[in-house]
Structure formats: C-alpha cells, structure tokens
Amino acid sequence: MSVATRGPGAVIVRAQRRFRARRHAGAHRLLRRSILVAAVVAALGVGGWLLADSSLFTLRYVTVEGTSRLSADDVLAAADVREGSSLVRLNPAAIAHRVERLAPVQSATVTRNWPHGLVIRITERTAAAVAVGPSGTWLVDRTGVAFAHVDDAPDGLARVTVTAAVPGAGAAAAQAGMHVLADLPARLRRLVSDVAAPSVDDISVHLSDGRTIVWGSPADSGTKAAVLRALLRRPARVYDVSTPSVAVTRG
C-alpha cells in the first residue's frame, strides 16, 4: 500500500492540485489587476470632471488671427464663447463652424491655448470677380460665393452680371458664371469683360475684343472648352458651344 501511494498516480494527483492552485492564484491576480485598473480609470474620470469645472482651466482670453476684411469683434460675436467658460468643455469644432457662417470666412480653425486661452485662425475669401445685379455689386470668390458688398468694382476683376439678388435668388447663377469662367481656355480669361448669367443654364461670355461665347450651363465644360479651341481657328463674332455636338459660329 505504501508503494502504491507513492506511485505515478499519486504524483499526477499532486501535480494537478498544484496546477489548479496556480490557476486560481493567477485568476485572483487578474481580478485584482482588473479592479485596480477600473479604480484608476474611475479616479481619472472623477478628476477630469472636477478639472473641467476648475478655475485652473477657465477661458480668460481669445486671440483672433487672419482678419483683414472682418474685425476681431465680428469673429468673437460669431464664435459665441464667454469669458469664464471651462476651456475643457469648449468644443473647438463647433466654434469653428459658427465662425465659418460669416460670409467672408473661407475656413476657420480653433485651438485651445492652455491653460486659459483660445486661438481662432481664419482664412478669408479672396475676390475673383464681382457679381452685379439688383442688389448692387458684390465681391465673389473663385467658386462664386458672394461675401462683401462694394460700391465700385475693383480694377482687374471680371464681372458676372445676374438678374436676381446676390446673395439670394441670383447666387446660383453667379456661381454657375464663375464655374464657366474657370473652365474657359486660359488665353481667353484675360480678355473677359463680362459674364452674363441670367440663369444657371444660360451663360454667355463677352470678351473685350467684341467676341461672344455662348456657353449655356456649366455641364460638359471639358467638352465645350475643347470644341471652343477648335472653333476659335475661324474668325467669328459669336462662338456657340452650348450644345457642343452641334457647335456653331456666327458673324
């Protein structure tokens, strides 16, 4: 009997017991580690919540960069942030979105300047033409977005003539006119005196040498530009590429 208890079976039983003991100990260590991690995360969460409302990170100043047409007060009013607000709780993306609603603003970025500052950097739209219509003369950027009213058109800017107010009902026609202007062959752009845009589907370009290009809508602009290059080899007063498959010249 004494030999049997010391045989291989007894050794296997003792090994299994040791294995189970190590497994249980490992499980307890994992549980303790999980509890510790959860406690740390909870502490950090509570600490972050307390810091969010702490005077250590309150908004005390805002820096506005990149303005020329707009004033800093214009930007601050649009940003709608209050001194004393929690810098932690402010949403920079939402603030930038509000600033970008200002017509002269092409884009805006907002960053925190810890521990008490906010920096708003804006890029203003650049005038590429003027839209002229019932609402007066407006500067428009290269995409046709109207962003500033002017009494007189600055020298060197193309003119887009619309029949409805810009901003307003004529905005789409002004944008269509700018798209056509951008799609013209480069050597013609410097000759443009006026882009007539009574509607988005009826765009004509008047050149300073007296020639007119009937473009129609901005659709198929690549094809229209290629057809126009071919037509320009013929002397004419009017080049009609509104339907490029049957383009014609007149005069």
CATH for 195: 3.40.50.11690
Query: What is the rounded distance in angstroms from the CA atom of residue 117 to the CA atom of residue 99?
Result: 17
Q: Are residues 42 and 61 in the same domain?
A: no
The pLDDT, as a whole number, for residue 162 is 97
Domain shared by 34 and 80, yes or no? no
216 and 198 together in one domain: yes
Average pLDDT on 44-61 reads 68
pLDDT of residue 36 exceeding 70: no
Number of domains making up the chain: 3
Question: What is the model's pLDDT at position 53?
Answer: 72
* pTM across the whole model: 0.75
Looking at the fold, whether 29 and 66 belong to one and the same domain comes out as no
In a shared domain, residues 118 and 138: no
Q: Do residues 60 and 172 both lie within one domain?
A: no
For 234, how many CA atoms within 13 A lie in the half-sphere containing its CB? Answer: 14
At residue 33 the predicted structure's pLDDT band, cuts being 50, 70 and 90, is low
Peptide bond into 218 cis (omega under 30): no
What is the pLDDT averaged over residues 78-88? 96
